[in-house]
Amino acid sequence: MTVRFPLEFALDTFGDRMGDEQHHPITHAQSIRNVVEQAELAEQVGVDVFGIGEHHTDEFPMPAGDVVLGTIAARTERIRLGSAVTVLSSDDPVRVFQRYSTLHALSNGRAEVILGRGSSTESFPLFGYDLADYDTLFEEKTNLFAALRDGGPITWQGTTRSALLGQDIVPHTETPLRSWIGVGGSPQSVIRAARYGFNLMLAIIGGHPARFAPFSQLYREALTKFDREQLPIGVHAPGHIAATDEEAFEEFYPRYEEVMRTVGRSRGFRVPTAEQLRRDIGPDGALYVGSPETVAHKIATNLRTLDATRFNLKFNVGATSRAQVLRAIDLYGTKVIPRVRELLTD
C-alpha cells in the first residue's frame, strides 16, 4: 500500500439502543446520553475520529446526531467529530451544510460529514420523499452540497428543491469542511465522489472486503480523469473487541442476531447462525470481531488491500451492556490502533 495520507482510526455509532447488565434495552434518552460518554472515552484512549450515523428507528434512535456531536464538541478538545452517515437524499443540503459548519465552528475545525444515499430508507416517507426519486434526489443534492462546500455565493437550480440565485450561505468556515461520500456497492457512487471531489468511504457490511478493491482503483482513476488531486479512501465496517476471540464472539453474536432479526423484517437481511457469523468474522468476512491482535491484523490487511488510510469501526450492536461497550472502546484505542500502525509500518 502506498500511504498517501496519514493513517486515521475512527469509531462510528448509530446510537444503538443499548442494554443494561442483563441486556434488557434501556431508554432512547439514556442511549443518547451514553454516546457522549463513549466519545469522551474515545478521545482519552487516542481514537482520531468519532462519528454518529443518522437513523430513525426504535433500535437506532439517533435522528439528530449533529446535536449530540455539539455536546461532545464542548467536552472534548482533540478528536474529530462527524456523521457516520447523513442521509442527504431526504435532507436539505443547505441545512446539512449549515449544521455541520456550525459544528465546525464550535469544535474549532474538527467537524466532518459523510453523505449517503440511504441504505436505510425510513427517512424518505418520514420527511415526505418518494423512493421513486431515489437517484435524482442524491445526484442533485450532492451537486448542491459540493457547491456549498466550495464556498462563495451559490447559484444553483434543480428539480428537487427551490433554486438559489447568488445566495451567501452562512456560517462561513475558517477551514474547509471535510466531506466524504459513503458507498455501499455502486460504481456510479464511486465516480460521483471523484467527480465532485469528495473523499471515498467504503461501507463494507457483508462479503469479502477484497471485492471492493476495484472500487478503490476506479476512484483513483476517476480522480485523475476529472483532473482532481488524489484524496483519502476509508473503510467503515462493524465489529466488536474483547480480551479474547471467543469472548468477543460470545458478547457480539446474541446482540447481532437480535438486531439482524429485527432489521431483516423490513430490509430482507438474513438472520445469521453462529456458524455463519464465524465465517463473517474470519479472514475473508466483513466483520471485525475478536481480540485486539485478531482485529488489528484484519484491519491492516484490508487497509493494504483497499489502498485505504482510514478505518471506521462501527462499534456497539443492539443491547450490548455499557461495560462491554466501554471496554471495547478502550481496547480499540489502547491496543488495536497502535498495533495496526506497527503492522503497516513493518
Q: Hey, what's the cell of 107?
A: 469544535
52 CB-contact burial (10 Å; exposed 0-12 / middle 13-18 / buried 19+): buried
Encode burial over 157-189: b for 16+ CB neighbours within 10 A, e otherwise.
eeebeeebeeeebeeebeeebbbbbbbbbeeeb
CATH number of the domain located at residue range(s) 8-324+338-345 in this protein: 3.20.20.30
Residue 138 makes CB contacts below 8 A (sequence gap 6+) with 88, 89, 117, 118
N-term to C-term CA, the chain: 12
Domains of the chain, by residue range, sit at 8-324+338-345
- Output the tens digit of pLDDT for each of the chain's 346 residues: 454 799 999 999 999 988 888 888 899 999 999 999 999 999 999 999 999 999 888 888 999 999 999 999 999 999 999 999 999 999 999 999 999 999 999 999 999 999 998 767 788 888 888 888 889 999 999 999 999 999 999 999 999 999 999 999 999 999 999 999 999 988 999 999 999 999 999 999 999 999 999 999 999 999 999 999 999 999 999 999 999 999 999 999 999 998 888 877 766 677 889 999 999 999 999 999 999 999 999 999 999 999 999 999 999 988 899 999 999 999 999 999 999 999 999 7
Contact 39, 80 (CB under 8 A): no
What is the residue whose three cell numbers read 460470545?
250
